[in-house]
Amino acid sequence: MTIAERRRLTDVARGASPADLYVRGASLLNVYTGEIYPAAVAIKGERIAYVGPRDDMVGPRTRVIDAAGQVLVPGYIDPHVHPAHVVTPSALARHLLPLGTTTVFADTLQIWELGGRRAFETVAGALAGSPLKFYWMIRVHSQTRSLDEATRYPPRELARALALELPLPCVLDADALTALASHLEVLRTAAGPRCLTPHPGELARLLGTEIAEVQRDRIGVARAFATTHRVHLVLKGAVSVVAAPDGSVRLNPTGIPGMASGGTGDVLTGITGAFLARGLAPADALASAVYVHGLAGDVAAERVGEESLIARDVIAALPEAFRRLRA
């Protein structure tokens, strides 16, 4: 926030300048104490300038919203929620359930830090049978970064937990693959379909072998891994190999060597996740994503050249890639 922005907010709070939006008649939930009390909210631009009983910042052009009978719960632009309603069941019962709440967005951080993975699994499992629907915010670091963060909140343990227990199809890439090295049993007992997108180095790490061994028989290695661990896998590289748990293999004809740069694999992960979210079967979602990703790389190379191609160019070429598929 700049000094000028802070001054504008201060002027509104003092009543020296009109607010853009004023919400009156509501009650406010104090997420720190659990108290609910009457309060109005004045907003300037996209920021809250004032919370309290006064209305002297209401001007002729201020938009006024009557929120009588409503409870306002403070939120944040960045991912941030207060888990007190889960950590302290009394707060959940006293302040949320009487409002007719049916859905709760919950943060895992406090639970994870206090009791680790076992505590989170216990809480999530106990709440799974409740009439409330819980959406868990999973993050691999706390709000304030610290040197001992890896000890308090180990991301690899979290990645293994998600890979094992998430009942929906999901994509595992990059550090999630590293977390699974020496823990491949997680894949064989996973609660839902898993799509892995390793490059030869990552697959070699998973197998405990050398990159040269993977590259010597790309099709055979990819097929063996997919069938043994019951996953859908793309071994990225020149002619990417897409293997399924049933042993079937597809060879992808699109893509160029210039796509072997940082970030382009993240684009593939995003496309795969999008196709899964649209309801495609994991095998089709992964094979289609690999094809579209490679086609976008071909389009990007036509535009900027192969040597200078970066991930952003592949993203920018996706609309044209989809257009060519529909043509």
Q: In terms of domains, do 68 and 82 share one?
A: no
Give me the CATH number covering residue 41: 2.30.40.10
Q: What percent of the chain has pLDDT over 70?
A: 83
Q: In terms of domains, do 68 and 116 share one?
A: no
Q: In terms of domains, do 174 and 271 share one?
A: yes
| Residue 221 to residue 218: CA distance in whole angstroms | 5
Q: In terms of domains, do 170 and 21 share one?
A: no
Given a cut of 70, whether residue 178 has pLDDT beyond it is yes
Mean of pLDDT values over 89-106: 69
Please state whether the predicted TM-score (pTM) of the whole model is above 0.85.
Answer: no
Mean of pLDDT values over 42-46: 91
Give me the CATH number covering residue 174: 3.40.1190.20
Q: In terms of domains, do 173 and 233 share one?
A: yes
Q: In terms of domains, do 227 and 171 share one?
A: yes
Name the band, by pLDDT with cuts 50, 70 and 90, for residue 287.
very high
Q: In terms of domains, do 280 and 169 share one?
A: yes
- Domains in the chain, number: 3
| Residue 260 to residue 307: CA distance in whole angstroms | 10
Each residue's pLDDT tens digit, 60-85: 999 999 999 888 876 543 334 444 44
Q: In terms of domains, do 127 and 158 share one?
A: no
Q: Which of 195, 290, 206 minimizes the C-alpha distance to 241?
A: 290
Q: Which of 72, 93, 113 represents a domain boundary (last residue)?
A: 72
Give the pLDDT score at 32: 59
DSSP secondary structure code for residue 184 in this structure? T
Q: Directed axis angle between helix 264-277 and helix 282-304, to 10°? A: 140
Given a cut of 80, whether residue 39 has pLDDT beyond it is yes
Residue 19: half-sphere exposure toward Cβ, Cα within 13 Å: 27
Given a cut of 80, whether residue 316 has pLDDT beyond it is yes
Domain span holding position 178: 154-326
Q: Which of 72, 101, 129 represents a domain boundary (last residue)?
A: 72
| Residue 292 to residue 141: CA distance in whole angstroms | 33
Given a cut of 70, whether residue 145 has pLDDT beyond it is no
Q: In terms of domains, do 194 and 290 share one?
A: yes
Q: In terms of domains, do 169 and 255 share one?
A: yes
Given a cut of 70, whether residue 151 has pLDDT beyond it is no
Q: In terms of domains, do 208 and 261 share one?
A: yes
Q: In terms of domains, do 53 and 92 share one?
A: no
Give the pLDDT score at 76: 43
